Structure 1
C-alpha cells in the first residue's frame, strides 16, 4: 500500500468520524467516477418511480418509502442495484405520488443513516425526507407565460437586498402573508397612513432586481414549530434544490412551498422586477450527518493536511468545488433554479471559496439558458481555502471571470469605514484620506488615469475589467446597517444629520459606474438597534418598521429620485471601461472630504450634457471651480427634481452645501 493510498483512506475515515479506516478502491478523489447524465435522483410517473443515487463507495444502497414526511414506520424498502459511473438505481412500480422517501447507504459494513439524497427537489417538513410529486402540478396558473423582465445590459441593474421575514413581518405593512413567499405577491399593500409597502413599495422605488437572502431549505428554523418565534438569515444549507418551508403557508405539503415560490417569482416579474437568489454552495449546516456525508463520505468537502475538514467558510467545512461531481452538482443546481423557478440571478456567498473554473462553467451554463442572468458574489472567504489563491474565485481574480461580478469592500469602507471596526468612520462623516477610494468606486473599479496616477494616496488594487463586474454598495445584511453605522461613528448625530449623511452615501452609490446595490430599508433609515450580527435575532431587531416611510419620506423620495435619474440617464451607467476613461474626469478640489467629477459630453446618447456631480462630506460649504457655462440643477441641498429642476447656475463656480451632493448638467 503506497502513502497516497493510505492518505486517501485516512481522509475518508476522518470524514465520517469512524475509528476504522474506510475501504476504497480509489487512490484519490480525482479517481471517483463521474456521472455524465442529468443528475436526477427521483423521476416520477404514474406507472412507477425511478430512483438513482451517486454513491461510488457504497456496498449497498436502499430506498426507504414512508407515508409521511416526518415520523411513522418504513412502509417499504427497496434494494438498489449498482450501475455505471458510481450510480445506484431502482424502480418502484405503481403510483407513489404523495409518498416520501429516503436513501440509506452502507459503507464498510456501516449504514450511514437516512438522507433525502443530495439532489432532492421536493421534501417534507424540515427536509429530512424527499417527496414523490409531479412537478408539473406545482406550476401556478399562468406560469407557462411567465417571462423575465427586459434587461439590455448588466449596467442597467439596480439591486435591492431583502430578507423575506424582515420585509413583510411588520403588522403596519398591511400584508396578509407576513414573512412568507406570498407576501411578495400582494401588489397593493400599504400602511394605515397610505404609504405603499411590499411589492408596491419596490415598484415605487424603481429597483430592477430583488436579491432574496437564502430561500432554499435551511436547517436553523424548525418548520414544525412556526407558532414559536424563530429567526435566521438561512446561511445553513440543508437541501439546496428545494424552497425553504418556513416561508411557505404549509411546510408539511411538499408542493405548497414550490408553488408559492413560483407565484412570488411570477408576481415580481409582472411588476417588472427580476429575482436574484442568494446561494450558499460553499458549506453545509452540518458536516457529519449531512446529506453529502451520508451519501459519499469525504468527497464533497475539502480536507486539510491532517485529513480533517477544512474550514474556510468559518462554519465547520468548505465544499470541494474543484472535484468533478461537486462542480457538476453546483452547476446543475443553479441551472435548475433558473429553469424550474425562472430565477434571474445568483449571489454567491463566500464566492472566494469556489474555484475559478467552476464559476466560469456556471457562467457558461447560464449563458445557454439566458445570458442576461446575473452572477455576483463575495470575493473573499472567512478563512484560507485549501486551493492556491491563483485558482480561487477571489475578488482579485474577477478579471479572469467575464460576466461575474463581486462586491467592492473598498468602496464600502471608503464611504462608511472598515468592516469589523464599527467606531471608525470614513468619507461620509468627514474623515479625511478616503477620497481616492470613493473615486475608485465612482469609476466602477476599473483602471482610470486620474486614480492610478495618484501619488499621494493609496490606490485600491484594480480588479474589474468592466464596471458591471463591480457591485457598488455602502451596507448590506452583514455588519451594521447604514443608519446604525452612522450612529456609532458619529455619536449624538441628530435626525437631520443622519438623513443628510444617508443621502450623501446613497448618492455616491447611485452615481457610481458599477452596479448599485441597496440594503432593504436603508431608503427609510432602517435600523437594527445597533446589533452587528443580527442573523438569529428576533423580529424586534430585524423587522423593517414601515412607519419609517412616513417619518423619513424625504429620504425615500431622494433615493427614488437617484434611481430614476440613473435609469433615465445612461451617462451614469456607461458599461464600458474605455467610455468611462474617455468621458468621466475628476475635478480638482484642494479641500479634503470632497469628490467632484464631470461626465463630459453626452455619452450613450444621454440627454444631459456635461453632467457634474459634487459630493461634499465637509461640515461647511465648499466652492468648486467648473467649466464656464449655463447649468440646470437636478440635485441640491438634499432634494432631487428631474422634471422641473431646482434652478439654474451660470458661471464657472458652484457652492455646495455641507454634507450634501450637488448634480448639475447642461
Structure 2
C-alpha cells in the first residue's frame, strides 16, 4: 500500500465485472443485475458509465454533442445544463485535444463519478455514474485526478464507439447498429482440413480505380458488399468478392480493423471523393491501436458518426459469410499507438511493461509493450476478443507478435472462446516471435517458440522455418531458398516442412497448429523475394540455374551489381519465366503441406511492391491489389485455384502422414494418401523408384500397390508436361520409376 492510501501498482486488485464502459439502460435491462454504486430505478433512456481507475482520487465524466476532432461545421453547439462538478481543468491537464477547435473542447455537462462498491461493501476500484437522457449517440470522455496533483483527460478505454480519430468515446446501443438479417448471420461450415487463408487489407482490397467498386465505396468496409464486380466494370475478369469466389480460398484474414491512430479519418473521407486522386489517399497498415473495441473510422463512409462504422463493419462480415468465407481478424494486443494511451492515462504505470528503473519495454519495436500478464490487462484482452467474436461474429483471430503475449493469457482466450456457442470452431493463431526482448519476470512464460508446448493445441502459429526454407531468409533479400537457387541446401528442411516438421525438435502437438506460408503483409512479397534472390548473388551464392538478363551464361552466376529490373517486377514473360516457375513450385509446396495454408492477397498473381519490404506507411497505390495485373496473370491465378480445389477434395493433405523417401539430391518427393508429390527445382529430369512410396501396414508388410498405376495428373508446367512425364516413366519398363520433369511441381495419383 502506498503512503497516500492508494494501492501500489503491483497491489491493484482486478475488477471482475462485465459492465465496464458505457452501457445504455436498454442493454442493462436485458442483462443480469448490476453492481453497487449505480443508480437504482434509472430510466430506460439513460446510460451507466463505469471505468476502472483504482489509483485516482476522483474521476469526472464529461458529455459532448460531437466527437471533437475535425468535426466540421456545426460542432460545439451549446447544450443543456446538467448537474455539474468542477468543470475547469488545471493548466497542466493532459487533454490530448491539441488541434481541436476551442469551442469543441467545452462539454455541455460534467458529472462527478462515485466509487463503485463490491459485494463486500468496499470500493472495487471502479468509478460509476448513471446519467438520465445520455443515450445512444452521446459523446463523452473522462478527466482523472490523481493524489499527486496530476490530471489527465482520456477517452474511455472500454469504449465500443467513438468519434473521428477516436479522441472521444460515444454511447452506442448496439442493437441499432445491426444490419438487416444480422440475427441470422452465420459463418460457413468449413472444416479445418479445408481452411485456406487469404490475408488482405480493407483498403488494398478495393482502392485500385480499376477494381469495379463504386468510387464512394473504394477502400471501405462496404466494398466487400458488392458481389459482382469486374475489372473496370466492363471486363469479364472478376474482382473483389467475385474474384475470391473464383479463387476458392475459404477464409479472409483482415489486417487491423480496430480503431488505429496512423490515419486521419477526416482526411481519408475527403480523399474518397470521386474527384480525389486515389493514389494519394491516406494509408497505413493499422498496427497502432487506439481503441481496441471500436472499428476503424477511415474504412467507413462517415467517421464522425460512431454508429456508422459499426454497422458497415458488420455488413462487411455479413457479406463475407454469405459468400462462403470465414472472417479472421488481425489483433494487436502486444502494443498500442503510443505509451500515452487511454489505458495508461486511466491507470498510469499499470498496462505497459516497464523495467525496474521505469523505462518502457520495447519488445514490439513500437515504443511500448502491453503487460498481458497483469490481471486487468489479461481481462481486458480476453474480454475484447470475446466481444469481437460475439458482437461482430468474427470467426478467428491472428495475434500480432504473439511472442510478447504470455501463454496464460492466450490459453484464457481459448477457454473464453470455447465457452461461446460454437466457440470451439473459432480459429486462433499468431506470430511466435517478438521484435526484441521484453520486460517480464522470470516466472512469466511467453507464447514465443519456447512457449509453444505450453499453449492449447488449438492455438496455431506461423512457421517461419517453412517460409525461409522454401523462399529464402526474409532478412537477407538476396539470399535464395529451395525454389530460388539453393535447392540442395534446403531440400532436407523442405522434406520436414511438408510433413509439418513431425519427428523433429520443432514438432508440436497438432499439425493444425502449423500455418504454412511463403508470403504475408510483412517483408517482401513472394514475387519480389524471388526476383531479388534470382537476380543477384549475395552471400557468395552461386545459382543452380541460369537465364535472365544479368547472368553469365557460362557460369550461371549473377554479378553482384545485378538485380531485378522493373520489367521483372512487372512479370514480363520474356524476362521472368524462371521466376514464375519458382513461384509455382513454392505455391505447390505450401498447398500440399500438412497444416493450414496461408497467403498474402495477390500472391496468386505475383503481387509486387517493387522491392519495398515494409510498405506499412507507403502510398495506397503501392499497396493496393492491382486488378489488371490479376487479369493479365490469370494463368497463375488459375494454377492457385486448382491447387486449392485439389487440397479441399483431399482431406488427407491437411494432416495425413507422409512417406518421404530419402534422397541425396535437390528433389523433394513425398506420398500422402493416394497421391505422390514431386518437386524438382533443377534443370535436369530426375527419377524416383516407386518402391520407396509403399506404405507398411501394422503387420510390417507392404500395403498392396500397383507400381504401374502412378499417373502424373497435375503439373506446374501444364498438361503437356504430365504427358511427357508419363511417357518417360513408362519407358523404364519393369523396374518402375516415375520421371520428374525439371523445374516442376507435380502430383501423381495411383489409379
Q: Do they fold alike, i.e. is TM over 0.5? A: yes
SS in 2 for 1:380: coil
Alpha-carbon spacing, 1:419–1:389, altered in 2? closer, same or farther (3 Å): farther
State the 1:625 CA deviation.
Answer: 2.2
SS in 1 for 2:283: coil
SS in 1 for 2:669: strand
Q: Distance in 2 between the 1:472 and 1:24 partners?
A: 53
Match of 2:429 in 1: 376
1:618 matched to 2:682? The reply is yes
State the 1:157 CA deviation.
Answer: 1.2
1:534 matched to 2:615? The reply is yes
Q: Distance in 2 between the 1:637 and 1:132 partners?
A: 55
State whether residues 344 and 373 of structure 1, in contact with CA within 8 Å, keep that contact through their aligned partners in structure 2. yes
Q: Distance in 1 between the 2:346 and 2:177 partners?
A: 28
1:188 to 228, 231, 236: 228
Match of 1:663 in 2: 747
State whether residues 334 and 401 of structure 2, in contact with CA within 8 Å, keep that contact through their aligned partners in structure 1. yes
SS in 2 for 1:663: strand
State the 1:109 CA deviation.
Answer: 4.6
Match of 1:441 in 2: 497
SS in 1 for 2:506: coil
State whether residues 473 and 517 of structure 1, in contact with CA within 8 Å, keep that contact through their aligned partners in structure 2. yes
1:40 to 20, 42, 56: 20
Q: What is the 5 A alignment of 1:482-501?
A: 482-491=526-535, 492=548, 494-501=575-582
- Deviation sequence 1:120-149 (CA, Å, 0-9, x none): 100011101111221100000000000111
Q: Distance in 2 between the 1:302 and 1:485 partners?
A: 35
2:337 to 257, 273, 285: 285
Q: Where does structure 2 lack aligned partners over 5 or more consecutive residues?
A: 26-43, 69-100, 118-123, 272-280, 536-547, 549-567, 569-574, 692-706
Alpha-carbon spacing, 1:637–1:339, altered in 2? closer, same or farther (3 Å): closer
Match of 1:296 in 2: 347
- Deviation sequence 1:435-470 (CA, Å, 0-9, x none): 1221222111332xxxx4xxxxxxxx3142111100
SS in 2 for 1:234: coil
- Deviation sequence 1:367-420 (CA, Å, 0-9, x none): 111101000000011111223487111123222212100100000000111121
State whether residues 7 and 54 of structure 2, in contact with CA within 8 Å, keep that contact through their aligned partners in structure 1. no
State whether residues 141 and 155 of structure 2, in contact with CA within 8 Å, keep that contact through their aligned partners in structure 1. yes
Match of 2:50 in 1: 52
Match of 1:549 in 2: 630
Q: Distance in 2 between the 1:397 and 1:634 partners?
A: 42
State the 1:28 CA deviation.
Answer: 4.5
State whether residues 446 and 466 of structure 1, in contact with CA within 8 Å, keep that contact through their aligned partners in structure 2. no
Q: Distance in 2 between the 1:276 and 1:300 partners?
A: 26
Match of 1:465 in 2: 509
- Deviation sequence 1:489-511 (CA, Å, 0-9, x none): 11146322222111100001000
Q: Distance in 1 between the 2:718 and 2:389 partners?
A: 40
State the 1:47 CA deviation.
Answer: 2.8
1:595 matched to 2:668? The reply is yes
Match of 1:567 in 2: 648
State whether residues 395 and 463 of structure 1, in contact with CA within 8 Å, keep that contact through their aligned partners in structure 2. no
Alpha-carbon spacing, 1:112–1:435, altered in 2? closer, same or farther (3 Å): farther
1:250 matched to 2:299? The reply is no
Match of 2:327 in 1: 275
Match of 1:133 in 2: 172
Q: Distance in 1 between the 2:640 and 2:213 partners?
A: 23
Match of 1:636 in 2: 715
Alpha-carbon spacing, 1:269–1:644, altered in 2? closer, same or farther (3 Å): farther
State whether residues 633 and 645 of structure 1, in contact with CA within 8 Å, keep that contact through their aligned partners in structure 2. no
State whether residues 331 and 397 of structure 2, in contact with CA within 8 Å, keep that contact through their aligned partners in structure 1. yes
Q: Distance in 1 between the 2:451 and 2:285 partners?
A: 28
Q: Distance in 1 between the 2:370 and 2:493 partners?
A: 33
- Deviation sequence 1:298-339 (CA, Å, 0-9, x none): 110111132211111111111111111100000000000000
2:358 to 294, 307, 311: 307
Match of 1:19 in 2: none
Match of 2:200 in 1: 162
State the 1:620 CA deviation.
Answer: 2.5
- Deviation sequence 1:74-114 (CA, Å, 0-9, x none): 10001000123201000111253322000111112535432
Match of 1:585 in 2: 659
Of 102-111 and 505-514, the range deviating more from structure 2: 102-111
Of 386-395 and 432-441, the range deviating more from structure 2: 386-395
Q: Distance in 1 between the 2:5 and 2:301 partners?
A: 45
1:414 matched to 2:469? The reply is yes
Alpha-carbon spacing, 1:217–1:160, altered in 2? closer, same or farther (3 Å): same
Structure of higher CA gyration radius = 2
Alpha-carbon spacing, 1:495–1:23, altered in 2? closer, same or farther (3 Å): farther
Match of 2:406 in 1: 355
SS in 2 for 1:433: helix
State the 1:645 CA deviation.
Answer: 13
Q: Distance in 1 between the 2:724 and 2:195 partners?
A: 25
State the 1:621 CA deviation.
Answer: 2.2
1:236 matched to 2:291? The reply is no
Q: Where does structure 1 lack aligned partners over 5 or more consecutive residues?
A: 10-21, 453-460, 603-608
Q: Distance in 2 between the 1:390 and 1:169 partners?
A: 43
SS in 1 for 2:524: coil
Q: Distance in 2 between the 1:433 and 1:391 partners?
A: 34
State the 1:551 CA deviation.
Answer: 1.6
State whether residues 483 and 681 of structure 2, in contact with CA within 8 Å, keep that contact through their aligned partners in structure 1. yes
Q: Distance in 2 between the 1:325 and 1:347 partners?
A: 22
State whether residues 562 and 640 of structure 1, in contact with CA within 8 Å, keep that contact through their aligned partners in structure 2. no
Alpha-carbon spacing, 1:382–1:51, altered in 2? closer, same or farther (3 Å): same
State whether residues 277 and 343 of structure 1, in contact with CA within 8 Å, keep that contact through their aligned partners in structure 2. yes
Q: Distance in 1 between the 2:389 and 2:5 partners?
A: 36
Alpha-carbon spacing, 1:102–1:111, altered in 2? closer, same or farther (3 Å): farther
Tell me how large the CA RMSD over aligned residues is: 2.0
Alpha-carbon spacing, 1:525–1:437, altered in 2? closer, same or farther (3 Å): same
1:213 matched to 2:255? The reply is yes
State whether residues 725 and 739 of structure 2, in contact with CA within 8 Å, keep that contact through their aligned partners in structure 1. no
State the 1:161 CA deviation.
Answer: 0.5
Match of 1:481 in 2: 525
Q: Distance in 1 between the 2:443 and 2:474 partners?
A: 22
1:386 matched to 2:431? The reply is no
1:319 matched to 2:370? The reply is yes
Alpha-carbon spacing, 1:68–1:644, altered in 2? closer, same or farther (3 Å): farther
Of 178-187 and 33-42, the range deviating more from structure 2: 33-42
